[in-house]
């Protein structure tokens, strides 16, 4: 079904590493017109060169800044005349026990994991409504389905993504716009590196011993996008086969 991806204009946040980078690489190889954003300009430039989208195909983007996200979507529309898909992928996971009172880290997770998704929706939705076509993909997590000690705030942000996405699905169906939630389990990315609590970090290290490569996520993004336009694949939850929790 990769033919349904050819020439689609796809905006990806958090594309400088991990899930976003893998998705950009795969979708570009399938003929999509990819426009990527993240905070690290050097990583973005290297990826843009690799996948052949040039300097115009990326924009340094902090998803906690609404104007940055709007500028990224506007770049895609300016380059290609439309936006077909937005992959709201940027995320942080500095999980910790609540008693440690890492309040600043709680705020960062809310700003990136929730507000960043909302800003992506706000930037893309008017274009999609005007065209009566589009696809919004929001990245949640297995943690959005369950919570473990040390993961309360992260789980709360990812549950919020799922709630927002379900409300979005119901609201935009009348505009012929599709929405998908993708909830990964353990995937080998830099996400774990944002954990500053050593106890949680050690537990997470053990849990990631069977982590999947980021390519697994990219293939599922491609699968969701490639469905026929009348098919909305609303939620994908996946884990390594060996992951129990």
Helix axis angle, 116-131 relative to 66-80, nearest 10°? 30
First-to-last CA distance in the chain?
32
154 contacts 113 by C-beta, under 8 angstroms: yes
109 contacts 152 by C-beta, under 8 angstroms: no
Of residues 97, 119, 154, 208, which has the active-site annotation? 154
Contacts 24+ apart (CB under 8 A), 76-80: 76/9, 76/11, 76/33, 76/35, 77/9, 77/127, 79/9, 79/33, 79/35, 80/9, 80/33, 80/35
Catalytic annotation present for 154? yes
Give the C-alpha separation, 114 to 2, whole Å. Answer: 30
Catalytic residue set: 154
């Amino acid at each position: 079904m990769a033919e349904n991806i050819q020439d689609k204009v796809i905006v990806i946040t958090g594309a400088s590493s991990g899930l976003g980078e893998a998705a950009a690489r795969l979708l570009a190889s399938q003929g999509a017109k990819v426009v990527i954003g993240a905070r690290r300009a050097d990583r973005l430039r290297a990826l843009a060169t690799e996948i052949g989208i040039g300097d115009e195909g990326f924009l340094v983007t902090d998803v906690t800044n609404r104007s940055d996200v709007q500028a990224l979507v506007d770049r895609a529309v300016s380059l290609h005349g439309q936006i077909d898909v937005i992959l709201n992928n940027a995320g942080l996971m500095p999980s910790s026990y609540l008693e440690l009172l890492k309040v600043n880290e709680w705020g960062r997770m809310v700003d990136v994991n929730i507000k960043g998704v909302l800003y992506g929706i706000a930037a893309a939705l008017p274009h999609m409504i005007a065209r009566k076509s589009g696809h919004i993909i929001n990245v949640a997590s297995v943690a959005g389905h369950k919570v473990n000690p040390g993961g309360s705030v992260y789980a709360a942000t990812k549950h919020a993504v799922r709630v927002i996405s379900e409300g979005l699905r119901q609201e935009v169906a009348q505009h012929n716009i599709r929405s998908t939630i993708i909830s990964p389990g353990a995937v080998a990315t830099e996400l774990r590196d944002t954990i500053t609590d050593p106890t949680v970090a050690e537990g997470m290290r053990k849990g990631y011993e069977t982590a999947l490569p980021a390519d697994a996520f990219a293939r599922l993004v491609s699968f969701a996008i490639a469905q026929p336009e009348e098919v909305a694949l609303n939620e994908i939850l996946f884990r390594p086969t060996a992951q129990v929790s």
